[in-house]
Chains A and B, each alone.
Chain A
Amino acid sequence: MTIEAVGQELSEVIKRHDADYVEAHLEESQTSHIIYRGRELESIGRSTAIGGNVRALVRGGWGFVSFNNLDELPSRVELAVKQARFVGREVSKLAAAEPAVDVVSVETDRNPVTMFLGEKKQMLDEYNDIIWRTPEIQTSTIGYADSRKKTIFLSSLGSYIEQERADIVLSLAAVAARDGDVQQVGLSVGSRGDFSPIQSLHQRVAQMAQHVVKLLSAPQVKGGEYTVVLDPVLAGVFVHEAFGHLSESDFVYENDRVRQIMTLGKQFGSKQLNIIDTATIPGLRGSYKYDDEGMPATETYLIREGKLVGRLHSRETAAKMGEKPTGNARALNYRYPPIVRMTNTYIEPGSVSFEDMISDIKEGIYAKNWYGGTTSMEMFTFSAGEAYMIRNGKLAEALRPVVLTGNVFTTLKNIDAIGDDLEMNQGGGCGKGGQVPLPVANGSPHIRIRRCLVGGK
């Protein structure tokens, strides 16, 4: 039975139920993956999955039932409603929504999953050869995964939305070793099923391999406060981690003290600072036409001219805060309920060139690329895969990877230069509430931060 047929049946069942609101998601996906460890292909496989969920709201309480057995759906709907009734003790509040009936097909005409595995493998073999041709390389890892997914969203409002998407992620890492010392450098890219950005990485892979060998003789930075210049990739991670998560209203809406911190209109940074989240740019991994509550995607300014002007909402958080919904409720897959998430988050470009940005730094750090990042809302840490000292206005010696940390509120204020060169990074996956990795993109121009705390010797 196709999920379309199941969907038709389910849309009738949903309407009959005695709840404040009921929605259902059905999903069908295919994926393939290829993993290399060292010279050898370690794992190659294909997967198919089908499943769904029903979510019900009664008096402010949510019931959620997920399954991959599509039989007996009416009883699953019943269970979700029963659970919601069990939990509900207040009044349900959801922002108003227009019922939508729509079919959104995939952007690329070529399905990456059904492509011949030999073709994908050949591309990866080329990259691995480049890494292994570099002297002093100890090992490499390559992880490639693609997916194509069709989802159907149904709601008791009468919505029926079919959406398809394709996704590719490729991450490579090179490891160098000398006398028991081990260093690694990584590279991650992604796309919405389009192969060209994945296929043309030969030069970047070669640079990555050369850099990791260089790190073996690189010094570790002395810990302390520095003026730090971030490249677009790392600045993108910074804006996502340090600020983006604070803008997700599920953290804000029921916490009065956070609401005070995040009062709209408050100055968070300099006048040059603008931060946007938008799911409306075609081709980016965080984009979609409708979110997982059937709401249309929007562009949301989070910070405009340094002031907090917006935040990301689900229908529930928007209603409870009396603000407009933004279409940011997303679920990793049918096993999870939608929660407030970012999509494509970036700092708008300013006017400062990279040369001007570093020219008056006597001793600072240029941090590039990323290993990862995490936040506790107030505090964040993120790590740079590549780093260099800046001395007397010029790039100087390479450093071992650095970890930067700080308080988001002071750090945003300490951004004193915004570059003219926006770049979006498509290689990341975001984690929240156990739902990881959710496809997102983040981006920024080069930015300069004064007095940033750097871990080290």
Chain B
Amino acid sequence: MEDILAQATGVAEEAEVFAVSSEETQVQFEANRLKHLQTKQQTSVALRIVRQGKIGYAITTELGDRHNLVNNAVETAQFGMPAKFQLPASSSYPPVETFDNETKSVSVEEMINLGEELITTVTGHTPGIICEAEVAKGVISIRIMNSRGGQAHYQKSFFRLGIEGNLINGTDMLFVGESASSCHPVLESKIVTEVVLQQLELAKNRASAPSKSLPIIFTPHGVASALILPLMVAFNGKTVLEGASPVGNKLGQPVFDQKLWLWDDPTIVFRPSSRPCDDEGIPSQRTPLVEEGAVTNFLYDLQTAALAHARSTGNGSRSHGGLPAPAPSAFIIAPGSTNFAEMVQDIKEGLVIEQLMGAGQGNILGGDFSGNVLLGYKVENGKIVGRVKDTMVSGNVYQALKDITAIGSETKWVDGFLQTPHIYCPSLSVASKG
């Protein structure tokens, strides 16, 4: 890395080298049986330079080929965007722990046993269900170095446990599933199977939904599948800079219901979404986005922040292998005061949404969503009576979150990027074939 940096600073005003290496082991079950054991090793080195004031960029997996890497970065810099930022000089980072040695030492046998536990528990509860399961562990090592003396290095361990079940009757298909992840080993299969068994219980009976506006409770999974994507785009500093964010000119204004609090937090210890610094070496911080319903901040990387006359929030991310761009680390929604049972009791006729398929395909910028209820339940007179199908729920995130009936008192991590309680909306449009 030092060599690449030295060579790059010979031809450019500024240079930054970003190296990732990872190793992951996955145990996979298909159709209730152990099927694959995989090991994946990967390394890459990315070079960003500022040459004659413009940004150049190249990435390679060939660590020995620094000459080509530097040449490619120089070539692209002819056309690159003018650099408006300064790379960070040496800085101190918050102590965010993301590495547990225990994770690495979980044996493949233990991983297989965990997977088998998942499957026997679910198939034991519901005979005929066909499951896929995965147990994975891995280590990622990240190193950043720049021409201003900035340096960062950290390691992250991760462990993942998940199961998806598919139950078929005639042509009727039911999909259930749950996963859990941590930097620590997740050795309790119950964390996952309890949720799946509950889904199976609630889905046992069929119920029909009418076509009209109904109150809707989004479970944490439901919040993730229906409501979060538009917000992630809207609070991205880049969307704001372009004037395409519906909340872009609403700083300080009450856009959402007073009960809503939302922030981005990469500093929670031992979460796979956490890190001491972002992918540009800017220290991690907790960034409030919505407080009491009012918009308080947007997420920035260095370049976007400079263009917007703001400061980087430490959200520069290279998740797609390209130049850093603003991206959330993990969205956290604060718990409220109503528990799920109380929400259900409050509803005369309505739905509980666990999974809304295809909700992220509409006009995301505008906040419109519309999806098929892949997993959801009907509520009648304060009780869940069964699963609904052939039903679409549509709405607009900004309207739905402006007037919230209640926010759940317990939060839950979903898919590693969101921690949220249940959210209960008074009225959304439902179209159903019954």
A175 to B389: give the CA distance in the assembly, Å: 34
Q: Pick out which of these stretches binds chain B: A179-187, A420-428, A438-446.
A: A179-187
Q: How many residues of B contact A (CB 8 A)?
A: 76
Q: Nearest CB to that of A451 among chain B residues?
A: B433
A46 to B56: give the CA distance in the assembly, Å: 9
A69 to B60: give the CA distance in the assembly, Å: 12
Q: Is the CB of B392 within 8 A of A405?
A: yes
Query: B382 in the interface, Cβ–Cβ < 8 Å?
Result: no
Query: A99 in the interface, Cβ–Cβ < 8 Å?
Result: no
* Chain A min CB distance to B141 (Å): 14
CB 8 Å contact bits of B306-329 with A (1 = contact, 0 = none): 000000000000000111010000
Beyond A50-B62, A87-B36, A403-B371, whether A44 also contacts B431 by CB under 8 A is no
Query: B130 in the interface, Cβ–Cβ < 8 Å?
Result: yes
Query: A68 in the interface, Cβ–Cβ < 8 Å?
Result: yes
CB 8 Å contact bits of A60-100 with B (1 = contact, 0 = none): 01111111110000000001000110110100000000000
A250 to B372: give the CA distance in the assembly, Å: 24
A83 to B363: give the CA distance in the assembly, Å: 45
Query: B187 in the interface, Cβ–Cβ < 8 Å?
Result: no
Query: B416 in the interface, Cβ–Cβ < 8 Å?
Result: no
Q: Is the CB of B431 within 8 A of A62?
A: no
- Could you say which of B34, B361, B430 contacts A383, with CB atoms under 8 Å apart? B361
Query: B243 in the interface, Cβ–Cβ < 8 Å?
Result: yes
Q: Pick out which of these stretches binds chain A: B95-103, B166-174, B333-341.
A: B166-174
Beyond A42-B81, A62-B36, A62-B37, whether A378 also contacts B171 by CB under 8 A is yes
Query: A223 in the interface, Cβ–Cβ < 8 Å?
Result: yes
Q: Nearest CB to that of B132 among chain A residues?
A: A433
Q: Is the CB of B59 within 8 A of A45?
A: yes
Residues of A within 8 A of B86 (CB): none
A107 to B118: give the CA distance in the assembly, Å: 48
Query: A372 in the interface, Cβ–Cβ < 8 Å?
Result: yes
- Could you say which of B34, B244, B362 contacts A401, with CB atoms under 8 Å apart? B362
Q: Nearest CB to that of B173 among chain A residues?
A: A378
- Could you say which of B171, B362, B390 contacts A403, with CB atoms under 8 Å apart? B362
Q: Which of B48-83 contact A (CB under 8 A)?
A: 56-62, 65, 68-69, 72-73, 75-76, 78-81
Q: Is the CB of A139 within 8 A of B244?
A: yes
Residues of B within 8 A of A45 (CB): 56-59, 72-73, 76, 322-323
A373 to B173: give the CA distance in the assembly, Å: 19
Query: B88 in the interface, Cβ–Cβ < 8 Å?
Result: no
Q: Nearest CB to that of A79 among chain B residues?
A: B39
Q: Is the CB of B394 within 8 A of A457?
A: yes
- Could you say which of B39, B72, B390 contacts A64, with CB atoms under 8 Å apart? B39
Query: B31 in the interface, Cβ–Cβ < 8 Å?
Result: yes
Q: Which of B11-37 contact A (CB under 8 A)?
A: 30-31, 33-37
* Chain A min CB distance to B16 (Å): 13
Query: B105 in the interface, Cβ–Cβ < 8 Å?
Result: no
User: Total number of A-B contacts with CB less than 8 angstroms?
Assistant: 245
A43 to B46: give the CA distance in the assembly, Å: 14
Residues of A within 8 A of B368 (CB): 400-401
How many chain A residues sit at the interface, stated as a range, is: 35 or more
Query: A397 in the interface, Cβ–Cβ < 8 Å?
Result: no
Q: Is the CB of B37 within 8 A of A61?
A: yes
Query: B198 in the interface, Cβ–Cβ < 8 Å?
Result: no
Q: Which of A347-398 contact B (CB under 8 A)?
A: 371-374, 376-383
Q: Which of B350-402 contact A (CB under 8 A)?
A: 357-358, 360-363, 365-366, 368, 370-372, 374, 389-390, 392-394
Query: A121 in the interface, Cβ–Cβ < 8 Å?
Result: yes
Q: Is the CB of A371 within 8 A of B130?
A: no
Beyond A182-B363, A381-B372, A383-B361, whether A37 also contacts B130 by CB under 8 A is no
Q: Nearest CB to that of B372 among chain A residues?
A: A405
Beyond A37-B238, A255-B166, whether A337 also contacts B58 by CB under 8 A is no
Query: A456 in the interface, Cβ–Cβ < 8 Å?
Result: yes
Q: Is the CB of B41 within 8 A of A66?
A: yes
Residues of A within 8 A of B361 (CB): 371-374, 381-383, 403
Q: Is the CB of A87 within 8 A of B35?
A: yes
- Could you say which of B36, B57, B243, B390 contacts A453, with CB atoms under 8 Å apart? B390
Q: Is the CB of B58 within 8 A of A46?
A: yes
A67 to B63: give the CA distance in the assembly, Å: 13
* Chain A min CB distance to B391 (Å): 9
Among A79, A250, A381, chain B packs the most CB atoms within 10 A around the CB of A381
Q: Nearest CB to that of A53 among chain B residues?
A: B40
Q: Is the CB of B370 within 8 A of A456?
A: yes
* Chain A min CB distance to B326 (Å): 11
Residues of A within 8 A of B62 (CB): 48-50, 68
Residues of A within 8 A of B94 (CB): none
A377 to B39: give the CA distance in the assembly, Å: 29
A46 to B38: give the CA distance in the assembly, Å: 29
Q: Is the CB of B31 within 8 A of A254?
A: yes
Q: Is the CB of B34 within 8 A of A61?
A: yes
Residues of A within 8 A of B31 (CB): 254-255
A413 to B42: give the CA distance in the assembly, Å: 47
- Could you say which of B34, B36, B79, B171 contacts A261, with CB atoms under 8 Å apart? B171
Query: B150 in the interface, Cβ–Cβ < 8 Å?
Result: no
Residues of B within 8 A of A38 (CB): 242
Beyond A175-B365, A373-B358, A403-B361, whether A68 also contacts B41 by CB under 8 A is yes
A residues in contact (CB < 8 Å) with B: 33-35, 37-38, 40-51, 61-69, 79, 83-84, 86-87, 89, 117-118, 121, 138-139, 175, 177, 180-184, 223-225, 250, 254-255, 257-258, 261, 335, 337, 371-374, 376-383, 400-401, 403, 405-407, 409, 453-457
Per CB-CB distance, the 5 closest pairs between chain A and chain B, nearest first, are A381-B358, A455-B370, A254-B31, A223-B431, A45-B57
**Cross-chain pairs A/B with CB under 8 angstroms, 23 sampled:** A41-B79, A44-B76, A45-B322, A45-B323, A46-B58, A49-B44, A49-B61, A50-B61, A61-B36, A66-B40, A68-B43, A177-B244, A184-B363, A250-B30, A254-B30, A255-B166, A257-B169, A376-B372, A380-B372, A403-B392, A405-B371, A405-B372, A455-B370
Besides A372-B358, A374-B358, 20 more A-B contacts (Cβ < 8 Å) are: A41-B81, A44-B57, A47-B321, A48-B69, A49-B44, A64-B39, A65-B39, A66-B41, A68-B42, A175-B244, A181-B366, A224-B431, A255-B31, A335-B42, A378-B171, A382-B361, A403-B394, A405-B372, A455-B392, A455-B393
B residues in contact (CB < 8 Å) with A: 30-31, 33-44, 56-62, 65, 68-69, 72-73, 75-76, 78-81, 108, 128, 130, 166, 168-173, 175, 211, 238, 242-244, 246, 321-323, 325, 357-358, 360-363, 365-366, 368, 370-372, 374, 389-390, 392-394, 429-433
